[in-house]
Chain A
Amino acid sequence: MAKHKTPLLDQLESGPWPSFVSDIKQEIEHRYANPKGVDYQVPAECPDDLLGLLELSYVDGETHWKHGGIVGVFGYGGGVIGRYCDQPQKFPGVAHFHTIRVAQPSGMFYTTEFLRQLCDLWELRGSGLTNMHGATGDIVLIGTSTPQLEEVFHELTHKMNNDLGGSGSNLRTPACCLGESRCEYACYDTQELCYQLTQEYQDELHRPAFPYKFKFKFDGCPNGCVAAIARSDMSFLGTWRDEIRVDQKTVAAYVGGEIAPNAGAHAGRDWGKFDIQKEVVDLCPSGCMRYENGKLEINDKECVRCMHCICVMPRALKIGNDRGCSILIGAKAPILDGPQMGSLTIPFIKVEEPYDEIKEFIESVWDWWMEEGKNRERIGETLKRLGFAKLLEVTGIKADPRHVQEPRHNPYIFWKEEDVKGGWQREISDYRVKHQR
């Protein structure tokens, strides 16, 4: 039986949504019963004390974790988030409650064999509680003690051939949408690029060498299923640069009501009969579509590849065949100088193994930011401080109208001295010859 009374948390066991309280209680009972006779390396009462501590926080309306925590494994500068409870006498099971970030496979496809092995490891050496997955993508093993860190790391690497994820001022664990594995919109193999770049930059991931954190995310198309544009310092967004492939016969089937629009995503409510003019043509942001005499035409030169028409009629409209990705830079949360989403830096780049062009770009960005970035300054903030033009200069990219949503409206324009005839060296006496004081 659980040792703490948790009347407030107990209320969260009702209702239809899966209750984290019920689940933790199940793990508490399981650890006390210990049917497999596991020699628990952290207190069996660990999840029990976690609920007790959480209940106390519900009563107080305050957290009961101490500030910070610096633990880890030899060789790495990150991967583990140290944490200590501020009531260790009352809740000894969570006196140490460190979190281990474990590198996840791209797209998060698993076999039960792998997950069972990981659970066996965590049952023995941890709390039995996890987060599947952290917002950055990692498998998160929640709650263990300092002496278990090297043990978990040893078993992960030696028996499971798996590594830790990233934390600290470094490259964090990259993540991607499931891409070509199960999506017809994917413009490149997001999982493969995510995997290859993760491997390529292992050093940058495990040993903090940056001014601050840096994240990669890979979206197969502009739908943004991994939210790269909002949650990664460098976002890779799939796109194409030729024509949308239109299958007129299938368009007719949509118009005829044989196929549900948006693959039936709005089937929960009666929106009336599908109206291609209203739901597709009139909603196109660049107004580059026309539906006349039963034929759908797209002026691809004006198309901004927003995905709307393709999403409404996935069986009739397909992404083009000349595919690649756009790269955007600078997304970050509000701290310190306000939230940012990624800014378009490379409008189109081919995604082809061994990704040399992409790597060259990444490294030129890092070289610059590692040298110029201030302590704890995200690259989005470095961009604001030193200017977008500087990024173009250091990466050797030519300025392009697509780099801006609109041109500047203020006239505070800097010129380079070499671009101005006569330069900056002027003598006031020469000026005074023509202009009296």
Chain B
Amino acid sequence: MAFLEYKGKKFEVDEDGFLLKFEEWSPEWVEYIKESEGIPTITENHQKVIDFLQDYYKKNGIAPMVRILSKITGYKLKEIYELFPSGPGKGACKMAGLPKPTGCV
């Protein structure tokens, strides 16, 4: 496990660059990893996806299914990949500070 520092904030992350603690998330985190996720600038659309993922996670304790993410944000899967090139799991969930997706991936 490694500690990262960016703009005075400290983040503990795993090998895949996921935050170990959801509580450590801050807007600086998004700023810090956007480049490694292939995102030049964070737009309102990015923010909308991140906000929804965080709300859903706080309420339900899990990440939403892709279908639910699409339905609620109104973004088709294709649009989500345009926003987050590594996809909703590796891209958007990582930026939102959610735990790493598990299972047979």
Contact = CB atoms under 8 A, between A and B. Distances in A.
Interface stretch (A68-76, A219-227, A250-258): A68-76
Given A69-B15, A168-B105, A213-B104, A74 B86 contact: yes
A418 B43 CA distance: 51
A240 B16 CA distance: 51
B65 to A, nearest CB: 5
B11 interface: no
Interface stretch (A44-52, A77-85, A103-111, A314-322): A77-85
A169 interface: yes
A74 B38 contact: yes
Size category, B interface: 20 to 34
Nearest to B64: A375
B32 interface: no
A75 B77 contact: no
A169 B103 CA distance: 10
B15 A72 contact: no
Contacts of A158: none
Interface in A217-257: none
A67 B102 contact: yes
B104 A72 contact: no
Interface string B87-105: 1111000100000111111
A74 B85 contact: yes
Interface stretch (A30-38, A203-211, A259-267, A294-302): A203-211
A211 B65 contact: yes
Contact of A71 (B62, B85, B90, B102): B90
A376 B101 CA distance: 12
A376 B103 contact: yes
B81 to A, nearest CB: 6
B42 interface: no
Pick the most buried of B18, B66, B86: most chain A CB atoms within 10 A of its CB.
B66
B59 interface: no
Contacts of A77: 81, 86-90
Interface in B69-88: 77-78, 81, 85-88
B67 interface: yes
Contact of B16 (A69, A74, A75): A69
A96 B15 CA distance: 9
Contacts of A345: none
A202 to B, nearest CB: 12
A207 B87 contact: yes
Nearest to A66: B15
Contact of B66 (A67, A167, A209): A209
B77 A209 contact: yes
B104 A70 contact: no
Contact of A70 (B38, B66, B77, B90): B90
Contacts of A376: 103
Contacts of A371: 67
Contact of B86 (A68, A69, A72, A375): A72
A70 B102 CA distance: 8
Most chain A CB neighbours (cut-off 10 Å) among B62, B65, B88, B89: B65
Given A74-B38, A207-B77, A208-B87, 8 more contacts: A68-B105, A69-B16, A71-B16, A84-B15, A167-B104, A207-B87, A209-B66, A375-B62
Interface of B: 15-16, 18, 38, 62, 65-67, 77-78, 81, 85-90, 94, 100-105
21 contacts: A66-B15, A68-B101, A68-B105, A69-B16, A70-B18, A70-B101, A73-B86, A74-B85, A75-B81, A75-B85, A76-B87, A77-B87, A168-B105, A169-B66, A203-B78, A208-B87, A209-B77, A211-B65, A211-B67, A371-B67, A376-B103
Q: Which 7 A/B pairs are nearest by Cβ-Cβ distance?
A: A77-B87, A74-B85, A70-B16, A168-B105, A74-B38, A209-B77, A84-B15
